[in-house]
Structure 1
Amino acid sequence: MNRVNLEVCVDTIEGAVIAEKNGADRIELCAALSEGGLTPSTGLMAAASELSIPVYAMIRPRSGNFSYSEAEKSLMLRDIQIAEDMGLNGIVIGAVCCERRLDLDFLSAALGSTRLPATLHRAFDTLTDVPAGVEDAVGLGFERILTSGHALRAELGLDILAETVRRAEGRLSVMAGAGITPENASMILCRSRVDELHASCSVQHPPFPSDELETRLGLVPTSGLKFTSAHSVQALRSAVENWFTTGV
C-alpha cells in the first residue's frame, strides 16, 4: 500500500502556510476558489514558491466551461511561463474541445512549453468518454488526473473513480477531489483505490453584518467567506494516515 498524498487547494498565502504547517503534501495555488479556482497572481506565486512543499499553480483564465478562445489559450501559455519563472513546482490545467474530449492540440502545446509537471484538473469530469480521457491524459504526459468521478462530490462518483484508477493502470496518479472530508476519506480510499486526495480544508466564517460598508457595497458575500482551517487539514491528514495504517 502506497502512502496517500494530500493536496490542499488554497487562494491566499495565509492558507498556503496553514496547509504547509498542518500536514499537506502539496498545494494547488489558485485565485477565487469560490469560482472553482482561477490563475493566481504573480505575487502570490512568488510568495508561495518559498514554501517547503511543492506548489502547483492553477492555469485557468476565467470561470465557466473549459473551452477556450485563441486569446485565452495565448494567455494560459503566458501564465504557464510565469509559473515556471516564479519557481513553482507544477501546473494544473485542462481544456476541452466541442466534442467533449480533451483539446489535444492545445494541451500538447501547453505541456510542451514547460519543464513543469502537470495535473489534469476536473475538466476531466466533463468528458463523455472516460477511457478515452484517461488514454489522452497519459498520451499528453499528465502526471495525474484530478476527478470527482463525474459527480458533484467524490463520494457520489465512486464507480467512475474506481474505473479511472483501473484504466490508468499506474501510468499516472488518480486524485479524488470535491467534498473530501475526514469523515468520508477512508471510505473513498477503500472503495475507489485512488492514489491521492484533494481538498480545500476550508471553513465558513460567520456572515458579515448587513450594515458593514463592504457588505452594503457588494464587495463581500453576505453568506461569509471561506478560509483554510488548520484543524481541517490536520483532521484530514490524520484520517488519511489512519487509512494508510489500517486499510479501513
Structure 2
Amino acid sequence: MGVRLEVCVDTAEGLAEAVAGGADRIELCSALALGGLTPSAGLMALAAGCGVPVVAMIRPRAGDFVWSEAEVGMMQAEIAAVRAAGLAGVVLGASRPDGRLDVPVLARLVAAAKGMELELTLHRCIDLAADMERAVDAAVALGFHRILTSGGETTVEAGAARIAALVRHAAGRISIMPGSGVNPGNAAMLKGLGIAEIHASCSVATPVSGRTVEMGFAPALWRQTRADQVRALKAALE
C-alpha cells in the first residue's frame, strides 16, 4: 500500500472536493486559517456520510495549547459530540507553558475518546516541544496512533531531517505523519523519509471581493481544497 493521504478541510465544499479527489482520510476542522478549530455539529453530521474515514479536530480556540480547566471540559464535550456524530476519531493535543506535552490533560482527553483509539492523532502541539523524541514516547504511552508534525519547523521541508529522526525513533510504534506545506513538489522527498501517511490541505488561494470583505465577514484571500490538487498529490505519492 502506498502513502495514505489525509486532507484537512473546514467547509462542506472542501469536504466534497477532498472526497472527489480521492483522499484516504479527512481531518475535519473549522477555521483552518487559524490552524484548525473544532468543527460545527452540522459539518460533522455532513461528514459522517461522506464514505471516507473522518477525524475531527478538538481545539476550542486559537492560540497556544495550554488549556484551562473550563477548556478541558469543553474538549471532553466536543469529543462526545464527535462520537455521537459517528466519526472515526479525534485530533487533539495539550501543552505545558514550556512546550512539553501536558500528559495528565492528554490522559483525560484520551480517556474521553475511549472507543475511537484507532483514529487518535496527536496534533502539531508536539512541534513546540524542545525534546520531540521524549514527546513521541509519551504519545505512545498515552495510546496515540499517529502524530502530525512539521518536525518542529514552520514547514515540512525545513523540518525534514527531524521528521526522519522521529520516524527512526518511533520505530514502528506510532505513525509519524508530516504536515504543513506538503505539495506535489516535495511529496517524493517526504515519501523517502519512511512515512506511511501524509497530511495536506490540497488547497488553492482564491481572492474574495465585495462587501463581505469590506464588512469584515471574510478575509481578502480564501483557501479552498480542490479535487484536482488532491489528485495531483496522490499521483506524486504513487
User: Taking structure 1 as the reference length, what is the TM-score of the superposition?
Assistant: 0.92
Structure 2: gaps (5+ residues): none
Query: Per-residue CA shift, 1:157-188, capped at 9, x if unaligned?
Result: 01110111011110111100000000110012
Letter in 2 for 1:23: G
Q: Which amino acid aligns with 2:30?
A: A
| Aligned with 1:236 (options 203, 216, 233) | 233
In the alignment, is residue 42 of structure 1 matched against residue 14 of structure 2? no
Q: What are the residue-to-residue correspondences of 1:1-248 with 2, within 5 Å?
A: 2-114=1-113, 115-117=115-117, 118-190=120-192, 192-208=193-209, 212-222=210-220, 224-241=221-238
Q: Match of 1:232, SS?
A: helix
Q: CA deviation at 1:101?
A: 1.3
Query: Which digits, 9 at most, give the CA deviation of each residue in 1:222-241, with x for residues without a partner?
Result: 2x211111110010000011
**Shift, 1:98, TM fit:** 2.5
How much identity, in percent, do the aligned residues show?
Answer: 46
- Using the alignment, how far apart are the partners of 1:77 and 1:199 within structure 2? 26
What is the CA–CA distance in structure 1 between the aligned matches of 2:107 and 2:147, rounded to whole Å?
A: 16
Task: Kindly provide the amino acid, as one letter, of the partner of residue 126 in structure 1.
Answer: L
- The Cα of 1:214 is off from its aligned counterpart by 1.4
**3-state SS of 1:145 partner:** strand
Distance 1:62 1:83 in 2: 17
- Cα distance in 1, alignment partners of residues 134 and 213 from structure 2: 46
For residues 156 and 191 of structure 2, the distance between their equivalents in structure 1, rounded to whole angstroms, comes to 10
Aligned residues: 235
Letter in 2 for 1:75: M
**1:127 partner letter:** A
Cα contact 1:161–1:194 (8 A) shared by 2 = no
- Structure 1 spans left out of the alignment, 5+ residues: 242-248
Whether the 8 Å contact between 1:148 and 1:178 is mirrored in structure 2 is yes
Contact 2:208–2:218 at 8 Å: present in 1 too?
A: no
SS in 1 for 2:50: coil
What letter corresponds to residue 204 of structure 2 in structure 1? V
Aligned-pair CA distance for 1:216: 1.7
RMSD after superposition? 1.0
* Aligned partner of residue 7 in structure 2, secondary structure: strand
Paired with 1:6 and 1:215, the residues of 2 have a C-alpha distance of: 33
TM-score (norm 2): 0.96
- Hey, which bits of structure 1, 4+ residues long, moved more than 2 A? none
Rounded Cα–Cα distance in structure 1 between residues aligned with 2:151 and 2:195: 11
Aligned partners of 1:12 and 1:215: how far apart in 2? 18
Residue 147 of structure 2: SS of its match in structure 1? strand
